[in-house]
């Protein structure tokens, strides 16, 4: 009788090892190379709900959704939307008066952006959060964040990409049509395209034509 080969199970096939209980771990990009791909439609729907809650002043409920989405994006190694989603959760907590959670997720999101070496975005978002803290009456926390931000940007040569040609023949919507985030679109500076990418869901949005 022919003996079954080593390491083979029934039917002669190779015996499979135990599966990982939660699948593969997050795939982290090399420093300076952000992984960016759009959130799937189900997650975009959750993001639209969070943005709607923000517009109604339900900041804590919005923050919990932003935070959940950020954690799931980070677990999948999709760091570009993840960092911005952590920052949006932080902004929501600040507006709700929960400065402890606001600070925690502010630094969490900013450190992700720093790891991607997206210096203009780091400067822009850090200044936005610092201003929100000042407006909410958290001056000491705003000063600390400003010092943290300056320390990191001072050692970098902040080269903002050239602004794309803002032709009068095209216009970007004020809200992302996929996730509903306001003023979240930034034109892509590649190959002369006039398309834009949403900071929060990473969807690519085409401009509308103006006659």
What's the pLDDT tens digit per position in 112-133?
Answer: 999 988 898 899 899 999 999 9
pLDDT band of residue 98 (cuts 50, 70, 90) is very high
Which of these, 95, 75, 74, 93, lies nearest to 83 by C-alpha position?
74
Q: What gap in Å lies between CA 88 and CA 96, rounded to an integer? A: 12
What's the CA gap between 14 and 197, in Å, rounded?
Answer: 45
Least confident piece of the model among 73-77, 124-128, 138-142, 206-210: 206-210
Does residue 10 register a pLDDT over 90? no
CA 36 to CA 70: how far, in whole Å?
13
Average pLDDT, the chain: 77
- Look at residue 46 and tell me whether its pLDDT is greater than 50: yes
> Confidence class of residue 171 from pLDDT cuts 50, 70 and 90?
low
User: Which domains, from first to last, does the chain contain?
Assistant: 41-154 (1.25.40.10)
pLDDT band, very low/low/confident/very high, at 194 (cuts 50, 70, 90)? low
Residue 77's pLDDT band, with cuts at 50, 70 and 90, is confident
Residue 160 has pLDDT above 90, yes or no: no
Note whether 142 and 179 are within 8 A (CB). no
According to the model, what pLDDT value does residue 148 have? 96
- In 3D space, the residue among 202, 197, 195, 29 whose CA is nearest the CA of residue 112 turns out to be 29
pLDDT at 28 over 70: no
Q: In this model, does residue 13 exceed pLDDT 90?
A: no
């Amino acid at each position: 009788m022919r003996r079954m080969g080593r390491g083979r199970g029934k039917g002669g096939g190779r015996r499979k090892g135990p599966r990982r209980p939660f699948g593969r771990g997050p795939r982290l990009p090399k420093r300076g190379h952000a992984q960016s791909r759009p959130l799937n439609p189900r997650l975009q729907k959750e993001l639209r709900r969070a943005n709607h809650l923000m517009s109604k002043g339900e900041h804590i409920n919005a923050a919990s959704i932003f935070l959940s989405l950020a954690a799931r994006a980070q677990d999948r190694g999709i760091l570009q939307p993840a960092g911005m989603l952590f920052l949006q959760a932080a902004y929501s907590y600040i507006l709700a008066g929960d400065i402890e959670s606001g600070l925690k997720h502010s630094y969490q999101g900013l450190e992700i952006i720093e790891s991607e070496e997206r210096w203009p975005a780091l400067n822009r978002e850090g200044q936005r959060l610092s201003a929100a803290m000042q407006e909410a009456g958290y001056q000491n926390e705003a000063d600390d964040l400003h010092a943290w931000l300056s320390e990191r940007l001072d050692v970098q040569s902040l080269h903002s990409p050239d602004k794309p040609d803002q032709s009068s023949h095209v216009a970007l919507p004020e809200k992302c049509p996929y996730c509903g985030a306001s003023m979240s679109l930034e034109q892509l500076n590649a190959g002369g395209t006039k398309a834009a990418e949403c900071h929060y869901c990473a969807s690519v949005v085409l401009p509308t034509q103006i006659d």
